[in-house]
């Protein structure tokens, strides 16, 4: 196995883990089946398109991405999702509608065609005798750092506990001083922003178009099914297995077989181990 293949694997696992992290918060913690999660990846991927169409400098891509995704997510949460906590099936239908709305809105503004995004960091670097795109190395580093900070923060802060408490018993959560409206809105926006950041990271390496989100939604649901909900370890495992299977089988045979392998694996897990490998659900 060449070293470039391993780096590709790490790239796919890392970006999928970032998308699945948001879904793990919104679906795993808030119990909202967010069918529009992939659309936040898509909106994030359009942020370089936004900055270049407005003639803004490249370094503004990150703030524009967070601002756009964050504001759309906040609007979605405050108008629709905030009424749907504790109603998981209704949340599926409503967010499915929102996903269509967001796709159509982006299509209306930017058209249906593919957008190409140029690499912010061009060139390659040499690692163990293999040359690999410098941009992907930088993003892998950022994602690893981000997850390390998140794991450290998660072990020290009560926020995850408070979210769990709020979802289980909103009345008691209010009575112990939790501002449930604000906490759920922030958790939802945070979850959508991780998807948007992954979209921004992926944008130069894929074809950016309004329909691109669906694939990421499905893969991140599969990652959660396989890895299990509620722990960062399970999230990493799930993303690793799903992205790993797809890129290894895809490299050995072709992308169609890679996708087939992921589907078969997820069906097996849903059938035989529906809680996933590393679930914290009790």
Contact set with other proteins (CB under 8 A): 158, 161-162, 164-165, 168-169, 171-180, 282
Q: Which is nearer to other proteins, 173 or 262 (CB)?
A: 173
Q: Which is nearer to other proteins, 172 or 270 (CB)?
A: 172
Q: Which is nearer to other proteins, 156 or 282 (CB)?
A: 282
Q: How far is the CB of 112 from other proteins (least distance, A)?
A: 45
Q: Which is nearer to other proteins, 129 or 171 (CB)?
A: 171
Measured distance CA(195)–CA(165) in Å, rounded: 24
Q: Which is nearer to other proteins, 165 or 277 (CB)?
A: 165
Q: How far is the CB of 271 from other proteins (least distance, A)?
A: 26
Q: How far is the CB of 181 from other proteins (least distance, A)?
A: 9
Q: Which is nearer to other proteins, 55 or 177 (CB)?
A: 177
Q: How far is the CB of 20 from other proteins (least distance, A)?
A: 22
Conformational region of residue 111, where left means phi above 0, alpha means psi within -120 to 50, and beta covers everything else = left
Q: How far is the CB of 26 from other proteins (least distance, A)?
A: 18
State the SS3 of 194-206: HHHHHHHHHHHHC
Q: How far is the CB of 258 from other proteins (least distance, A)?
A: 37
């Amino acid at each position: 196995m060449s070293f470039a293949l391993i780096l590709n694997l790490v790239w796919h696992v890392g970006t999928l883990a970032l998308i699945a992290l948001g879904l793990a918060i919104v679906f795993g913690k808030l119990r909202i089946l967010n069918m529009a999660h992939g659309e936040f990846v898509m909106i994030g991927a359009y942020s370089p398109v936004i900055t270049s169409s407005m003639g803004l400098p490249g370094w503004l891509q990150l703030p524009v991405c967070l601002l756009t995704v964050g504001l759309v997510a906040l609007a979605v949460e405050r108008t629709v999702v905030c009424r749907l906590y504790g109603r998981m099936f209704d949340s599926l239908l409503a967010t499915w509608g929102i996903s269509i709305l967001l796709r159509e809105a982006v299509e209306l503004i930017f058209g249906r065609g593919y957008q190409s995004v140029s690499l912010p960091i061009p060139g390659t670097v040499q690692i163990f005798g293999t040359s690999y795109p410098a941009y992907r190395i930088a993003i892998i580093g950022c994602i690893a750092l981000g997850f390390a900070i998140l794991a450290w923060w998660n072990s020290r802060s009560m926020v995850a506990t408070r979210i769990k408490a709020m979802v289980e018993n909103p009345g008691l959560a209010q009575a112990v001083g939790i501002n449930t409206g604000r906490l759920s809105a922030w958790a939802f926006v945070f979850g959508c922003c991780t998807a948007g950041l992954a979209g921004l990271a992926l944008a130069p390496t894929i074809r950016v178009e309004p329909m691109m989100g669906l694939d990421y939604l499905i893969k991140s649901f599969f990652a959660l099914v396989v890895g299990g909900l509620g722990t960062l370890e399970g999230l990493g495992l799930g993303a690793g297995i799903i992205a790993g299977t797809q890129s290894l089988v895809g490299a050995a045979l072709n992308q169609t077989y890679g996708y087939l392998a992921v589907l078969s694996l997820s069906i097996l897990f849903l059938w035989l181990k529906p809680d996933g490998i590393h679930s914290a659900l009790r």
